[in-house]
Amino acid sequence: MEYGFIKTAAITPKIEVADCARNAEVIAEGMEQAYQAGAQIVVFPELSLTGYTCGDLFLQESLIRGVSRALRHLAEKSLECPGMMSFVGLPVLFEQKLYNCAAVIQNGEILAFIPKKHLPNYSEFYEQRHFMPAPEENRRILWENKEIPFGNHILLACENMPALIIGAEICEDLWVASPPSIALAAAGATLIVNLSASDETIGKDEYRRSLVKGQSARLLCGYVYCDAGDGESTTDMVFAGHNLIAENGEILTESEPFHNGMIITEIDVERLLYDRRRMSTWVSQTEGYEKIGFRLPQTRTKLTRPISCHPFVPADDRRLEMILSMQANGLKKRLSHTHADRAVIGISGGLDSTLALLVAVRAADQLGWDRNRVLGITMPCFGTTDRTRSNAELLCDRLGIECRRIDIADSVRVHFQAIAHDEKKQNVVFENAQARERTQILMDVANGCNGLVVGTGDLSELALGWATYNGDHMSMYGVNASVPKTLVRYLVRHEARKTEDPSLKNVLLDILDTPVSPELLPPQDGEIAQKTEDLVGPYALHDFFLYYCIRWGFTPEKIEYLAEYAFQGEYEKKVIHRWIQNFYRRFFQQQFKRSCLPDGPKIGSVALSPRGDWRMPSDASQDLWRLE
């Protein structure tokens, strides 16, 4: 339960059609298995207590009595799994009619019976022959001398974790045009469970997966889908036990078809609530829904779900290509709109300027320009090494663009004299004067050739304020503005992999191998003396902090917890703790630089543009965040 994580399981037991006592035993075994694995919510298939394929046996008195005895047995068995909530499918007799229901069981009690609303009556499914659809309003049913809520307008609300509210639907309910889960989510449900008996046909698994994935995305919810499997009758159909657990459009885990058993993972309900808060089109409608309170044990949920240590990096090359295309198309439009004759870029031999140049070349190609209309300018000074200068010039040459070298050392010295600064004093004045001189040269050269200065600074630098105000902080269009440093590296590597020019590949690989540095301090023995990650911390950590802070609004405590899990074996806890403190300090102190950013294309779900994506006062206090 800690940090909003709820461990959920879906179990397909091997049942025996119409043998309620035996089925209750295997379901009880499944409950114990889930409990031992740490599950707090466990879901079983539709009509699993009897078997979905009983047919006209559902109408037999013997089966109905067998169901009642089996349910009593399961309620007693649930006492051996204290706190865990189980959803079990069964037929329920109410006012002389049968209903296809989910029984909600916890701590020896039945909390609710939730009947299916949409009953199929086509092809191999004839549920309307045996069952009635859920009544329009909730009712009460007498079971074991207790009145139990009965209806599908029921929500189960966790009293000691308000973010967890559970709703249930059954199989066909998901496949209709207006599933009950839509109204359940609007009424507050953050977790939807689906007890299903979906037969298998060719291609149906893909469609089922897309349904579950899509429903969890549009409803901003967790979704646990539990399917019938081996043990059902195969008279006219087969069941694959295709179980899925999804969260907000992502399949967290799923079972292999035709393999009965358990899948288990954690759903982050706090993450879901954050998206609902920030989405202005999300409208809550709670009228007509009954909330049943329950409590879960206060335990730390052991994480097993995958959490990438590089959350900004896509999993496939297609998305990398899409990112490059978005950057190039943004720049193409700006060059076209401003009637610029040239794109002007400062080339340092580092990752950011390399990516910006690759994007500019793409934009030039799309515009039908000769590549010489892209102008790369190298501006060596006190901290420039032979390696980076050579790589900058080689990169321009292999891409077929014009390259100019403008040594700025003398002009910076003149500036030092003008402001009475001792060159031997290598402080912030010494460093930033070089950065501002470079920006001035780029702007003036661009003015002279009717060009547009393409910015190279990335999202990570903007978050940390690692830019010289009105130096590399400024440009006429920042193509990397929403691309974090970890993603910059992957994009450059992607271009290196796909190029057929071995010379270009070699220079890109060497740039990737070069330490990240602003190169503003003199080299030591010809090598880079100023390594950015030694000063501000590893970009892998900062990008991780940035993603979960901005995209999901997590607390620093939760972000640190996730970082320890994601980076275990790579960074010690004390290292993560040190740099997350540094992240929040810099993020709050450096907002003023982000308040006046140049335009740049939004690439992913995290951007810091002051014109829409991130609006924050420059004088906001960091105390609440740093105290955590």
DSSP per-residue string spanning 532-576: HHHHH--HHHHHHHHIIIIIT---HHHHHHHHHHHTTTTS-HHHH
359 and 289 assigned to the same domain: no
- What DSSP assignment string belongs to 101-130? EEEEEETTEEEEEEE-S---EETTEEGGGT
Domain boundary among 482, 500, 533: 533
**Mean pLDDT for each 10-residue chunk of the chain (628 residues)?**
92 97 98 97 98 94 96 97 98 96 98 96 78 95 93 97 97 96 97 96 95 97 97 91 97 94 97 91 88 92 93 92 98 98 97 98 98 97 93 96 97 96 95 96 98 97 96 97 97 96 96 86 79 90 97 95 96 96 96 96 94 92 88
As a whole number of angstroms, the distance between CA 451 and CA 56 comes to 80
Regarding whether 190 and 332 lie in a shared domain, the answer is no
Beta pairing class for 121-122 and 109-115: unpaired
The residue assigned the tokens 């271009």 is: 495
Tokens of 317: 């090359």
Q: Is 178 in contact with 215 (CB distance < 8 Å)?
A: no
Residues 67, 72: Cα–Cα separation, whole Å: 9
- Residue 302 appears among annotated catalytic residues: no
Of these residues, 7, 116, 332, 558, which one is catalytic? 116
Domain count, the chain: 2
Same domain, 511 and 414: yes
Q: Are 214 and 330 members of one domain?
A: no
- Phi, psi angles (nearest 5°) of residue 404: -120, 140
The confidence score (pLDDT) of residue 81 equals 97
Residue 624 lies in a domain: no
Global pTM reads 0.92
Same domain, 277 and 364: no
In a domain, 473, yes or no: yes
Catalytic one of 46, 169, 172, 519: 46
CA distance 131 to 615: 54
What is the domain extent for residue 340? Answer: 317-533
pLDDT at position 100, please? 97
Residues 348 and 204 in one domain: no
pLDDT at 295: 96
By CB atoms closer than 10 A (0-12, 13-18, 19+), residue 318 is exposed
Strands (DSSP E) found in 460-526: 477-478
Evaluate whether residue 556 is within a structural domain. no
> What backbone torsions phi and psi does residue 89 show, to the nearest 5 degrees?
-90, 135
171 is catalytic: yes
In a domain, 578, yes or no: no
Of the candidates 533, 556, 584, which is a domain's last residue?
Answer: 533
Catalytic choice (81, 101, 158, 171): 171
> Any catalytic annotation for residue 158?
no
CATH number of the domain to which 101 belongs: 3.60.110.10
**pLDDT in the model for residue 47:** 97
Length of the chain: 628
- Whether residue 626 lies inside any domain: the answer is no
Last residue of a domain, one of 509, 533, 557: 533
Please name the amino acid found at residue 607: A
d(CA 41, CA 4): 14
